[in-house]
Chain A
Amino acid sequence: MAAPEVHHLFHSPIADHSFSADRELLAVARENNVELYSHTGNRFALKDELKGHEKVVTSVDIAPQTGKIVTCSQDRNAYVWEPSPTGWRPTLVLLRINRAATFVRWAPSERKFAVGSGARVIAVCYFEEENDWWVSKHLKKPIRSTITSIAWHPNSVLLAAGSTDAHARVFSGFIKGVDSRPEPSVWGERLPFNTVCGEFLNGSAGWVHGCAFSPSGDALAFAAHDSSVTVVYPSGPEQPPKAVVSVTTQLLPFMSLIWNGESEIIAAGYDCEAYRLRGDENGWQLVGSLENKSRPGLADRGEESALNMFKQLDLKGKAKNDTQLKTVHQNSINTIRSYEEDASGHVKRFSTSGVDGRVVIWNV
């Protein structure tokens, strides 16, 4: 397994990161701005900054096909940034929320996106041609608390949202005139806007940090603050799911997760490294870390001369430097995203970003 590609961009937390489809552009949310890095040689160099938000930017997403960037922030606004001859041009989105916007993701169709917020609503935003403006419709009921994460179903109509009220929900974000009628799926047949297709909660009811649909869209996984990952297999509209599998781990909670095929999930969070889970309807298990702990530069640290040990004891009052974690990330991971997939939709490489200001590209 090749070593991961580590890009230490700066010394402040990265709330979210996103790569363009050609992987030449990297957008990183840093405090009130979004920084754009371009791939030069084997590193990423700062190329541009998207300035406009007045408070901390919480989420950023680059649309793979159109290249448009959507950002949202604690200042309750979202902007859609489009490239123009004079640089990136922002368009304000009418979110109509009275709390921070927490999470944004483009729908696979790229004709709309969803913004989660602390105002207990999800704003599903789409472009209105006649007004030349991004407008939103609110998904409101039955959300009782802040939305922490959003994931789109491959059909661009359904979306899953994790919330601090400990529920992961599946909604219909069908917008007339924007979406075509979706094929009936296990989540439902008729799907007008704000249809609640499922509400899930696990035993110990930790608030939900991250959620994701499987590549087929027929299963939903969510990670919660009780250090668990729960996978839901729905059986059909208006029926209880055929299986809800919950894996409680010995680790600290996961913040974010992605699917790798239908039977593998990669999750990362407060343990600063990515873990692999495998399973199906009959059960899921934590397989182990994706990090190779015997990397050069880490292993040889164990063998130190007696002189060195006493020197350390004299200077620092301890024999070992314990301020450095053994993981690549030196602080918790906020976001995990698929970086490169093969033809069958399996993840070949994925990227993580976290509080330590690093973006790391891993080989599966």
Chain B
Amino acid sequence: MAYVNYRTIDVDRLDPDSSINFDTSTLLPPLVPVSAADVQSLAGQIRQLLRGGDAEGALIGALQNAPYGGDDKAKEVHLATVIEILQSIKQAEMSPILTRIYQSEGGSETLDILMKYLYKGMSLTQPSSVAGKPISPQPTGFSQITSRGGGEGSGQAMSVLLSWHEKLVEIAGPGSIVRVMTDRRTV
């Protein structure tokens, strides 16, 4: 008889009730699907606010309409909008704006969404403005080489996100970071 190492048998595959045979997303409330076109038109409205000088209103509007149910394209468009707003706000205005949002109704959730965008923004290796033309990662080359393609712009975008992050943690606390990690509604 052939030798069977019972320890290496994946018992979960044999169990019909097993969690790997189960779609965990059904446990969560369904998300409203959002199309890329909707996000695009929303981005237009938000840019209008931004041009009008109401950066705070633009930020709140963008965060409260985060396209949880959107596809990758929609989320990418919205991320670019949010980052544009963040870059247009001066460092000295960050804390007062965040404090006002935090004290408003449902402000804690709005800041959690902002935190999601900060982390999403930081995860990009290139600035969102050139997101349209992706630099293909080379399988053999060093990853630093491709990220250098972003050049100065990438570093600057990162420093904006980092200063937002610092200010946001001061106000929303580490709880906000933990919520970004646990929440399955991604931006």
Q: A-side interface residues toward B, CB under 8 Å?
A: 98, 120, 144-145, 165-167, 201, 203-207, 224-228, 248-253
* Interface membership of chain B positions 59-79, coded 1 if the CB is closer than 8 angstroms to chain A and 0 otherwise: 000000000000000000000
Flag if A226 contacts B19 (CB, 8 Å): no
CA of A203 to CA of B112, assembled, Å: 12
The answer to the question of B128 belonging to the interface, with a C-beta cut-off of 8 Å to chain A, is: no
| A205-B182, A252-B178 known, 13 other contacts, Cβ within 8 Å | A120-B17, A120-B19, A201-B27, A203-B109, A206-B179, A225-B182, A226-B178, A226-B183, A248-B108, A248-B112, A249-B173, A250-B176, A252-B175
Known contacts A201-B28, A248-B109; A145/B19 CB under 8 A: yes
The 3 closest A-B pairs by CB, nearest first: A250-B173, A227-B175, A206-B182
Chain B residue numbers with a CB within 8 Å of A201 are 27-29
Flag if A205 contacts B178 (CB, 8 Å): no
Chain A residue numbers with a CB within 8 Å of B24 are 144, 165
Q: B-side interface residues toward A, CB under 8 Å?
A: 11, 17, 19, 22, 24, 27-29, 108-109, 112, 172-176, 178-179, 182-185
Chain B residue numbers with a CB within 8 Å of A251 are 173-175
CB nearest neighbor in B for A252 = B174
Chain B residue numbers with a CB within 8 Å of A248 are 108-109, 112, 175, 179
Residue from B11, B17, B22, B179 within 8 A of A227 (CB atoms): B179
Chain A residue numbers with a CB within 8 Å of B29 are 201
Chain A residue numbers with a CB within 8 Å of B19 are 120, 144-145
Chain A residue numbers with a CB within 8 Å of B184 are 205
Instruction: Give min CB distance, A270 to chain B, whole Å.
Output: 9
Flag if B183 contacts A205 (CB, 8 Å): yes
Flag if B27 contacts A204 (CB, 8 Å): no
Chain A residue numbers with a CB within 8 Å of B179 are 204, 206, 226-228, 248
Flag if B28 contacts A250 (CB, 8 Å): no
Chain A residue numbers with a CB within 8 Å of B109 are 203, 248
CA of A48 to CA of B41, assembled, Å: 71
Instruction: Give min CB distance, A182 to chain B, whole Å.
Output: 29
CA of A312 to CA of B91, assembled, Å: 36
